């Protein structure tokens, strides 16, 4: 499991006092209210930053980092990913998972037939869709609903799915 979880992408600066606009990649934007420290992936290195302030504007989160007080100092973070330490992540309910823990799971049907690997998660609003890639790049799309997803075992690295009527084998 990854120690860091992505929670957003810095899209641009906000104002001239060193704030950034963040497009959240988490289901719960309210999680930013408790954010005290995070990591910015800058030039392939994780740089820790302390969060001084949080505001919300439309579907974006505006963050102010401690010690960064002008637009020039924060401009370099444009398009950088924002991460939190797993131990500071929001608590999950039963049958909830972090996307990063699902990617790479081996997927099989209820009868044990191997389908492939979960390679992508597509958020659709109503429910996520899991993209499973098998041999010869064959893909299956599974809605993340109880009727399709029978079992997820993060420890074993496995997901069991039910093929719905009409799904091509």
Picking from 88, 107, 130, the residue at the C-terminal end of a domain is 88
pLDDT of 125 > 80? The answer is: no
Instruction: For residue 83, give Cα distances in angstroms to 4, 38, 62, 138.
Output: 6, 6, 15, 32
Phi, psi of 33 (to 5 degrees): -60, -35
**pLDDT of res. 158:** 97
- What CATH number corresponds to the domain at position 82? 2.40.30.60
Question: 113 and 80, same structural domain?
Answer: no
Question: 75 and 13, same structural domain?
Answer: yes
Q: Is residue 153, in this structure, part of any structural domain at all?
A: yes
Question: 15 and 37, same structural domain?
Answer: yes
Domains identified in the chain, total number: 2
| Domain residue limits at 136 | 99-161
Picking from 88, 111, 128, the residue at the C-terminal end of a domain is 88
pLDDT of 76 > 80? The answer is: yes
Q: Is residue 166, in this structure, part of any structural domain at all?
A: no
Q: Model's pTM, two decimal places?
A: 0.74
How many CA within 13 A on the CB side of residue 143?
Answer: 10
**Helix or strand run (H / E) with residue 96:** none
Q: Is residue 93, in this structure, part of any structural domain at all?
A: no
Question: 110 and 57, same structural domain?
Answer: no
Q: Mind giving me the DSSP string for 114-157?
A: EEEEEEEEE--SSS-EEEEE-GGG-EEEEESSTTTEEEEETTTT
- What CATH number corresponds to the domain at position 105? 2.30.30.240
Q: Is residue 34, in this structure, part of any structural domain at all?
A: yes
**pLDDT of res. 169:** 57
Q: Is residue 108, in this structure, part of any structural domain at all?
A: yes
**pLDDT of res. 30:** 85
Question: 83 and 11, same structural domain?
Answer: yes
Count the neighbouring beta carbons within 10 Å of the beta carbon of residue 154. 13
pLDDT of 166 > 80? The answer is: no
């Amino acid at each position: 499991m990854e120690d860091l979880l992505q929670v957003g992408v810095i899209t641009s600066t906000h104002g001239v006092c060193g704030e950034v606009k963040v497009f959240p990649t988490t289901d719960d934007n309210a999680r930013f209210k408790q954010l005290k420290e995070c990591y910015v992936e800058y030039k392939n290195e994780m740089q820790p930053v302390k969060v001084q302030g949080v505001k919300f504007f439309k579907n974006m989160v505006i963050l102010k980092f401690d010690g960064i007080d002008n637009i020039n100092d924060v401009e370099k973070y444009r398009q950088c990913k924002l991460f939190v330490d797993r131990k500071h992540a929001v608590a999950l309910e039963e049958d909830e998972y972090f996307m990063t823990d699902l990617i790479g799971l081996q997927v099989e049907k209820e009868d044990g037939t191997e389908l492939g690997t979960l390679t992508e998660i597509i958020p659709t609003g109503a429910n996520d869709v899991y993209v499973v890639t098998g041999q010869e790049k064959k893909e299956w799309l599974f809605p993340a609903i109880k009727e399709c997803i029978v079992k997820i075992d993060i420890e074993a690295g496995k997901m069991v799915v039910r093929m719905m009527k009409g799904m091509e084998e």
